[in-house]
Amino acid sequence: MNNIFDSHAHYNDEQFDIDRDSLLASLPEAGIVGIINCGTDTASSFASLEMAEKYPFVYAACGYHPESALEFYEAGLVDIEKMLSHPKCVAVGEIGLEYHYDFVPKDVQKYVFEKHLELAVKYNMPVIVHDREAHADTMDLLKKYKPKGVLHCYSGSTEMAKEVLKLGMYIGLGGAVTFKNAVKPVEVAEMIPLDRLLLETDCPYMAPVPMRGKRNNSEYISYIAEKIAMIREIEPDDLLSITAENTKRLFGIK
């Protein structure tokens, strides 16, 4: 397949230490035209920028993931703000709220999320939002700041999806849509306007069926595209072209 744009990856993860460079170098031949690598703290955001400098098809998102929110301090915010001016930084992310693993207090998570939303609005940059079991608080803050951006690995209802679309935001679907017990992601794949859909891996996590449980990588987006294309009764290649264009439009990539 061609025109695979992976809108959400973590190639700085240690699971890629063994073959990161050979794997990344092989991806264009496998049809990958773009990757947005998401930072989760200062070190991984910086690593994303370094990767983006090395590989023309890699772009970076910089920010603090809610699970790293306790490590966030005002100096971290200064670091991220500086990184946003890098020519290959295309988004503020991965940011948001994680209430499934709630070892970081909710008020700390919300504080750190809001600090990033302020930056996104200040620099008119899209956000890449993580929302796990935190739908109400996530929507409240998105309605307050009205950033452009994407809800990645979308797990909410179709009703919430309509609100997300009303805000002008995009929805990212990945491996979960292929899982046997998938309900909500499939319903969302059925209803979402195709010009608001992004595809993603969240690799090394969330590998789609039939690779579930293995280390994920951008090539496996082909399985996600096949599943959603079947649901929408279109050709997988057409879905890949449309979603690659969506990703470029949202993140201002030529």
Footprint of Ni ion on this chain (CB under 5 A)?
A: 94, 202
The two structure tokens encoding residue 142: 């998105």
Q: In what order do the strands lie in the sheet with 149-151?
A: 4-9, 32-38, 58-62, 89-98, 127-132, 149-151, 170-173, 197-199
Q: CB of residue 11 vs Ni ion: minimum separation in angstroms?
A: 11
Residue number with CB closer to Ni ion (174 or 236): 174
* Residue located via tokens 């309900």: 183
Q: CB of residue 73 vs Ni ion: minimum separation in angstroms?
A: 22
**CA separation for the pair 116, 137 (Å, rounded):** 15
14, 20 contact by CB (below 8 A): no
**CA separation for the pair 234, 236 (Å, rounded):** 6
Residue number with CB closer to Ni ion (94 or 219): 94
Q: CB of residue 196 vs Ni ion: minimum separation in angstroms?
A: 20
Q: CB of residue 40 vs Ni ion: minimum separation in angstroms?
A: 7
Residue number with CB closer to Ni ion (91 or 236): 91
**Which residue number is nearest to Ni ion in terms of Cβ?**
202
Q: CB of residue 141 vs Ni ion: minimum separation in angstroms?
A: 18
Q: What is the 3-state secondary structure (H, E, C) of 130-177?
A: EEECCHHHHHHHHHHHCCCEEECCCCCCHHHHHHHHHCCCEEEECHHH
Residue number with CB closer to Ni ion (40 or 243): 40
